[in-house]
Every structure is written in structure tokens, then in C-alpha cells.
């Protein structure tokens, strides 16, 4: 069954935008990095880029974008178990919009499996979302402007001067390439907080028949 529910519609839906805005406000209140429109739109486009480059069907690429945009709405309820609460919220939204059950299942399973504490790349859309979400590391996600009070998460994110997530089709690898200010944060700090995420990215890449590479300051470290 075909669907009229598009990424463009989801992105402009005022209710969805309010959930994203309020979810980010909740995370700001407890000191988390930015999870607003910059993050979810980047996740949507990176997930789509991965599947499109691998020549997945156009509708599956669209579903990856929708999942990417919706994936963090559960934070409006609570950070704990936000992947699962977000999946339930997404189900209600998409069901009311008349999206077919098979597409809802794909999007909701991707959202419900994106957080590293319970994540698993159960399908291609979930794998692409995991890769897109976990590779969004950048200075602009840090809210705290007082460097003297940075915690390790602030330091590591702020230390990222440049980041890109690409798919090396020839080498069949997803590559996260970081330019890291090691004066702000040594590479070991990055691994201290992100190792679990990077291993999850490897698992997600394998689901798509790819490998995962992490490059820091020109050196492949994973």
C-alpha cells in the first residue's frame, strides 16, 4: 500500500515541531547537548544519504528521513527509555496520518532501536538511523559557553573542529572523519564516552554490508 506521508509534510507539521522543540528544552534543563532541529535534520539527511548511496528504494530512503526527524521526540516525556516512548509517539502520529502499517512498523522499530542502551539494527532503516545519530558529533551541540565548567561530554564535543560522515562506496565503508583539538580533549576522552556508540556504528554498518571507520586527525583509529 502506498503512502502520502512524506518527509516534507512531517518536517512542517506544527505538532511534531512542538514535540521536538519541547523535547530539546527538557534536555537543556538537565544539561544535555543540543537535540533540536539541527540534530534531527542532520540525522534525517545522513540516514537518507547512506541508503540512497546504497541504492535502496526511494520510499525506504524517505522512511529513513522520517525516522531521523522523529527519533528523539520521546525526550519530551523523559530521557530514560526515550527511544521506546518516542516510537510509541511516532506510531500514534503516523497512524493518525494514515501511513500503512508496514511503513509505520519500519519507522517505529528504527526509532525504538536507536539508543545505545537498547539499540540494535533490526532493519536497514534502523541501521542507517543509528549511524546518522551516533556520528553527529560537533562543537555547535554544546550549550554551555563557560569552558571552565565543561564536563567531559562538553569538552569532547567542543573539541570537534570539523566532522563529516561519508559513505565510501568503493571501500564499502561508512567513515566518520573528525578534526579534533587535542588540546581541548585528548583522543582517549573521546573513546571514554563514545566507544559504545562507535561499536554500535560498526554493528549497524555490518547490517548494511559495510564496515565502519573512525578517522581522527587523519589517522584511522577504529
Q: Could you give the 3-state DSSP secondary structure of residue 163?
A: strand
Residue 44's contacts (CB-CB under 8 Å, 6 or more residues apart) are 7, 11, 64, 65, 66, 67, 68, 69, 132
pLDDT band for 48, please (50, 70, 90 cuts): very high
Q: How many domains does the chain have?
A: 1
Averaged pLDDT for residues 47-51: 97
For the stretch 112-156, pLDDT in tens is: 999 999 999 999 999 999 999 999 999 999 999 899 999 888 999
Pairing mode, strands 160-168 and 173-180? antiparallel
Number of Cβ within 10 Å of residue 9's Cβ equals: 12
* 15 within domain boundaries: yes
User: What pLDDT digit, counting tens, does each position of 178-218 carry?
Assistant: 999 999 999 999 998 899 999 999 999 999 999 999 999 99
Mean pLDDT of the chain: 95
Spatial separation of the C-alpha atoms in residues 92 and 94, rounded to whole Å? 6
What DSSP string describes 61-117?
Answer: HHHHHHHHHHTTGGGGT-STTHHHHHHHHHHHHHHHTT--HHHHHHHHHHHHT-STT
Do residues 207 and 83 lie in contact, with contact meaning Cβ atoms separated by under 8 Å?
Answer: no
Identify whether 184 is part of a domain: yes
Query: Is 133 contained in some domain?
Result: yes
Residue 55 lies in a domain: yes
| Residue 1 confidence (pLDDT) | 52
Task: Give the cell for residue 76.
Answer: 519530551
Q: For residue 42, is pLDDT > 80?
A: yes
pTM for this structure? 0.96
Question: Which domain, by its residues, includes 85?
Answer: 7-220
CA-closest candidate to residue 204, choices 139, 119, 121: 121
Domain holding 85: CATH number? 1.10.3210.10
Up-side HSE of residue 32: CA atoms within 13 Å toward CB? Answer: 16
Tell me if 2 is assigned to some domain. no
Amino acid at each position: 500500500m502506498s503512502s502520502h506521508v512524506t518527509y516534507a509534510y512531517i518536517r512542517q507539521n506544527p505538532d511534531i515541531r512542538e514535540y521536538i522543540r519541547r523535547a530539546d528544552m527538557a534536555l537543556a534543563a538537565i544539561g544535555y547537548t543540543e537535540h533540536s532541529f539541527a540534530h534531527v535534520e542532520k540525522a534525517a539527511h545522513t540516514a537518507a544519504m547512506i541508503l540512497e548511496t546504497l541504492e535502496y528504494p526511494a520510499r525506504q530512503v524517505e522512511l529513513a528521513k522520517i525516522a531521523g526527524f522523529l527519533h528523539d521526540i520521546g525526550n519530551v516525556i523523559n530521557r530514560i527509555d526515550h527511544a521506546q516512548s518516542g516510537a510509541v509517539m511516532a506510531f500514534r502520529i503516523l497512524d493518525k496520518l494514515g501511513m500503512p502499517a508496514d511503513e509505520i512498523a519500519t519507522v517505529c522499530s528504527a526509532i525504538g532501536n536507536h539508543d545505545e542502551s537498547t539499540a540494535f539494527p533490526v532493519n536497514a532503516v534502523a541501521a542507517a538511523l543509528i549511524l546518522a545519530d551516533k556520528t553527529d558529533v560537533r562543537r555547535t551541540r554544546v550549550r554551555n559557553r563557560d569552558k571552565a565548567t565543561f564536563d567531559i561530554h562538553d569538552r569532547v564535543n567542543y573539541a570537534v573542529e570539523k566532522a563529516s560522515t561519508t559513505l565510501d562506496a568503493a571501500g564499502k565503508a561508512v567513515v566518520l572523519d573528525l578534526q579534533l583539538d587535542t588540546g581541548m580533549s585528548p583522543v582517549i576522552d573521546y573513546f571514554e564516552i563514545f566507544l559504545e556508540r562507535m561499536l554500535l556504528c560498526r554493528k549497524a554498518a555490518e547490517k548494511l554490508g559495510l564496515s565502519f571507520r573512525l578517522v581522527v586527525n587523519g589517522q584511522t583509529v577504529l
